[in-house]
């Protein structure tokens, strides 16, 4: 184990020093490694016990089925059941809709906000940055409940639309399959745009101003600067935020449960809520619930690979 890496460290040294290693230095390297392992060993053990072991167990669980504690292996039954389970298909479809509409919308909004707020000539920059970031500090449940009441039949949104004559009678947003989804998407976008914006703002600090100056001298307008400089420079961060947002949206739970509770019908139910329902709402079937959980794992892996392929460095 130690040999190849010490070989490598030797190669890093200038040729003149390569063969002049003292004994003291050798034990030093060895010693440092041991100490290094000591530092990480605790977390390695903890991660193995509390992360990897449950993951393996959950995978085994996904091949079992039965009520509560009476689980037995049923082979691939759970996986076949997925494809004929209308609730699962509804949950998967809804989650995909959230993902396809909400993540791009949020990323684009976050990009626009960050570029606008990065303008050094802008007054009250700090205020606007805080205003847009503030939603991220709110509790998921608290803001969901507020959204629910905003969009209620007697809610302020309906009052507003009525008073200004946009609609003639109130819309029951949360009881309509289409509008309920719109409300969920609006809610998540409101909550998470500022969070992603912070990443872009931070990344923009590292973009060399002289590039923009050069572009201006060459006659590039603001749009060209945005598409030709800002976006390529932020590419790694865009990749990072879209992967984390994808994972976050695939696991969406709090907002759905609190705003619509999956309704009307199953028209807003998400995969995570279905997992919860299978485990705690209905007669518990932890085996099938963990099969559905593994679908999320598989989706995250596939989508992350896809995003790396599309946007990542071609190494």
Partner 1 sequence: MKKFYLMFALLISLAVLAACSSGDDEANGASGSEGSSGADSITAWAWDPAFNIAALEKAKEAYDGDVEVKIIENAQDDIIQKLNTGLSSGTTKGMPNIVLIEDYRAQSFLQAYPDAFYPLTDVINSDDFADYKIATTSFDGEQYGLPFDSGVAGLYVRTDYLEEAGYTPEDLTNITWDEYIEIGKAVKEATGKNMLTLDPNDLGQIRMMIQTNGSWYVDEDGSTPNLEGNESLAKAFETYKKMMDADIGKIVSDWSQFVGAFNSGDVASVPTGNWITPSIKQAEDQSGKWAVVPMPRLDMEGAVNASNLGGSSWYVLNVDGKEEAADFMLQTFGSNVDLYQTLVKDIGALGTYSAAAEGDAYAVEDEFFGGQQLLADLSTWTDEIPGVNYGLHTYAIEDILVTGMQDYLNGTELTKVLENVQAQAEAQLK
Query: Is residue 85 at the binding interface for partner 1, with CB under 8 A as the rule?
Result: yes
Phi, psi of 268 (to 5 degrees): -125, 0
Nearest to 294 by CA among 57, 100, 69: 57
Least Cβ distance, residue 38 to partner 1 (angstroms): 5
230, 242, 249, 266: residue in contact with partner 1 (rule CB under 8 A) = 266
Nearest to 196 by CA among 303, 100, 120, 105: 105
Three-state secondary structure of the chain: CHHHHHHHHHHHCCHHHHCCCCHHHHHHHHHHHHHHHHHHHHHHHHHHHHHHHHHHHHHHHCCEECCCCCCEECCCHHHHHHHCCHHHHHHHHHHHHHHHHHHHHHHHHHHHHHHHHCCCCCCCHHHHHHHHHHHHHCCHHHHHHHHHHHCCCCCHHHHHHHHCCCCCCCCCHHHCHHHHHHHHHHHHHHHHHHHHHHHHHHHHHCCCHHHHHHHHHCCCCHHHHHHHHHHHHHHHHHHHHHHHHHHHHHCCCHHHHHHCCCCCCCCCCCHHHHHHHHHHHCCCCHHHHHHHHHHHHHHHHHHHHHHHHHHCCCC
73, 160, 282, 308: residue in contact with partner 1 (rule CB under 8 A) = 282
60, 142, 153, 222: residue in contact with partner 1 (rule CB under 8 A) = 153
Pick between residue 73 and residue 282 the one whose CB is nearest to partner 1. 282
Least Cβ distance, residue 37 to partner 1 (angstroms): 10
Query: Is residue 68 at the binding interface for partner 1, with CB under 8 A as the rule?
Result: yes
Half-sphere exposure of 34 (CA within 13 A, CB side): 6
Binders of partner 1 in range 22-41 (CB under 8 A): 31, 35, 38-39, 41
91, 111, 147, 148: residue in contact with partner 1 (rule CB under 8 A) = 148
Query: Is residue 54 at the binding interface for partner 1, with CB under 8 A as the rule?
Result: no
Cα–Cα distance, 284 to 23 (Å, whole number): 64
Least Cβ distance, residue 154 to partner 1 (angstroms): 8
Pick between residue 92 and residue 103 the one whose CB is nearest to partner 1. 92
Query: Is residue 263 at the binding interface for partner 1, with CB under 8 A as the rule?
Result: yes
Pick between residue 39 and residue 53 the one whose CB is nearest to partner 1. 39
Least Cβ distance, residue 46 to partner 1 (angstroms): 8
Least Cβ distance, residue 86 to partner 1 (angstroms): 5
Pick between residue 172 and residue 307 the one whose CB is nearest to partner 1. 172
Pick between residue 243 and residue 257 the one whose CB is nearest to partner 1. 257
Pick between residue 21 and residue 77 the one whose CB is nearest to partner 1. 77
Length of the chain: 315
Query: Is residue 53 at the binding interface for partner 1, with CB under 8 A as the rule?
Result: no
Query: Is residue 279 at the binding interface for partner 1, with CB under 8 A as the rule?
Result: yes
Least Cβ distance, residue 153 to partner 1 (angstroms): 7
Query: Is residue 277 at the binding interface for partner 1, with CB under 8 A as the rule?
Result: yes
Least Cβ distance, residue 252 to partner 1 (angstroms): 18
Residue ranges that bind partner 1, judged by CB under 8 A: 31, 35, 38-39, 41-42, 65, 67-70, 81, 84-87, 148, 152-154, 172, 174-175, 177, 261-266, 277, 279-284, 286
């Amino acid at each position: 184990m130690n040999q190849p890496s010490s070989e490598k460290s030797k190669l890093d040294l200038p040729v003149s020093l390569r063969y002049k290693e003292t004994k003291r230095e050798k034990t030093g390297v060895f010693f440092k490694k041991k100490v290094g392992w000591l530092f990480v060993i605790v977390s390695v053990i903890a991660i193995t016990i509390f992360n990897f072991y449950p993951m393996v167990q959950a995978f085994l669980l996904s091949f079992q089925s039965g009520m509560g504690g009476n689980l037995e292996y049923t082979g691939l039954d759970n996986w076949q059941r997925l494809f004929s389970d209308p609730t699962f298909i509804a949950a998967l479809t809804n989650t995909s809709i959230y993902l396809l509409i909400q993540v791009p919308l949020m990323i684009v909004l976050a990009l626009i906000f960050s570029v606008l707020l990065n303008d050094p000539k802008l007054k009250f920059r700090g205020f606007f940055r805080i205003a847009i970031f503030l939603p991220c500090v709110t509790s998921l449940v608290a803001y969901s409940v507020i959204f629910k009441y905003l969009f209620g039949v007697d809610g302020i949104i309906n009052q507003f639309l009525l008073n200004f004559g946009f609609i003639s009678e109130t819309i029951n947003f949360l009881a309509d399959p289409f509008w309920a989804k719109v409300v969920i998407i609006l809610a998540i976008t409101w909550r998470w745009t500022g969070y992603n914006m912070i990443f872009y703002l931070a990344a923009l600090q590292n973009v060399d101003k002289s590039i923009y100056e050069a572009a201006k001298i060459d006659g590039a307008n603001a749009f060209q600067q945005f598409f030709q400089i800002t976006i390529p420079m932020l590419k790694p961060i865009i990749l990072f935020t879209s992967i984390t947002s994808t994972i976050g949206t695939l696991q969406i739970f709090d907002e759905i449960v609190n705003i619509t509770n999956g309704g009307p019908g199953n028209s807003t139910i998400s995969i995570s809520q279905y997992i919860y329902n299978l485990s705690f709402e209905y007669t518990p079937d932890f085996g099938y619930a963990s099969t559905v959980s593994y679908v999320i794992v598989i989706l995250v892996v596939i989508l992350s690979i896809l995003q790396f392929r599309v946007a990542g460095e071609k190494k």
